Structure 1
């Protein structure tokens, strides 16, 4: 497949650029920064929050070739004001979806977040696992924006018949380093497996899966991912003997969102300065 990858210069983006190419996909990079050294292939420098700039990218691609799918990983990775969070995660998604509809691109794989359900207490989860069907319980404005993006993608799936998969990513690192991440870790290799499965699953419609590895201590249900062909291999337990306990572990393990429930993450929705 020929795939437009947003956020291609980021940590996940670089892993996916190489990993998806290894699996036979042709990756077209898109980011707000110029193409980094060592990253090959077609590249566009543009802000996904700028609908005109996104439209220009699609026009350029379809003038020369075409696109089969969009993998949307662009967006600010932390907490901002509510308007800035919505711009970073919802407006960018809207610009891409509109361009997809205009050009007949039928599939989006979205870099969602566990923080869309981060306020869910872990106590009382059935079988200790959180299903994707649980109600949205954002833990921050970042989580609100990720939840809103899922709602927007659901609308476009229903209204335009798109296939849209939101991958609620846990802790993406080379290796787990905290007690919480022993449950929430997503390895780089499994990240590639996950996105490849989401790109190639037959007619998924609108779907949500949890983006974690096959962790022995996992909190989230992997069955929806399995149904789309995502079969993770790595297990954070292989690093458990290197992870030391910390005073904040109890707080981070009490809710799905971990440290995003901390008092320090609370701020007014609107910046009035």
Structure 2
């Protein structure tokens, strides 16, 4: 039996993954941690297969109880957009530290961190695929918080013996919403495949991996994901005609972070 804790399970990516990860293995038991859970989840969930925990990832006592007895943690909990410095620091950095620290204390084998393309958001596109270990070049406080999380993950590998995979996630949603996302899209099914590869006991040490599907227009490397057994199957190009017909406000595609590179720090307001 594999016991998997998912923090931030009620967030955008968590909602896409819970059912997929529950169905992937009949011997898997999920523990879901979030501030609140959607109405009806407790009634719909299999009482023997899904356990619900309410609380914050910044609360060490809550996290300590949540990681007890689990084999792996998928840490999705946190602020997923640009926000005020103190909020981002508390939730994304202190929260990630708390999860890593309590997981190490509890003897958890693997922690998978939801990092972001915004950790390197100011990086300009080149002709070659950008490697998953591209140096930090954050575009926002949010992006910086993800560099801090990656760095903490490496520290806990070196000093506490955890196995950590940091996923530099692109745009994980049911379908791409604009031309940029034809390159950065991570389908929910591919995201589940990536998590499966990350929590596999054969994946050890520290890894940085792009969270992206096998998109025709992709400009990020798949090699690092393939090295841990990730085999993406989906391609955003099937939505290309629909996305291009829809038009809409242009999103920058010459830098990794897209619109985030235009946000005023601490807000989601576009500068200029």
Q: Which residue of 2 aligns with 1:267?
A: 265
Distance 1:231 1:201, change over 3 A: farther
CA distance in 2 between counterparts of 1:77 and 1:248 reads: 22
Kept in 1, the 8 Å contact 2:114–2:169? The answer is yes
1:211: Cα distance to partner?
0.3
1:268: Cα distance to partner?
5.9
CA distance in 1 between counterparts of 2:142 and 2:104 reads: 26
Q: Which residue of 2 aligns with 1:55?
A: 64
1:150: Cα distance to partner?
0.4
Q: Which residue of 1 aligns with 2:113?
A: 110
Q: Which residue of 2 aligns with 1:206?
A: 206
Distance 1:246 1:268, change over 3 A: closer
TM-score of the pair, normalised by structure 1: 0.89
* Pairing 1:119-268 to 2, within 5 Å after superposition: 119-122=122-125, 125-127=126-128, 129-200=129-200, 202-244=202-244, 245-249=247-251, 252-262=252-262, 265-267=263-265
1:68: Cα distance to partner?
0.3
1:247: Cα distance to partner?
4.8
1:160: Cα distance to partner?
1.2
Point out 4+ residue stretches in structure 1 off by more than 4 angstroms.
none
1:56: Cα distance to partner?
3.3
Structure 1 unpaired stretches of 5+: none
1:176: Cα distance to partner?
0.9
Q: CA RMSD in A?
A: 1.6
Q: Which residue of 1 aligns with 2:77?
A: 74
TM-score of the pair, normalised by structure 2: 0.90
Name the SS for the 2:82 alignment partner: coil
Q: Which residue of 2 aligns with 1:3?
A: 4
CA offsets, 1:151-190, max 9 Å, x none?
A: 0010000001210001111011111120000000011111
CA offsets, 1:200-246, max 9 Å, x none?
A: 15142010100011000001101000011110001000110101244
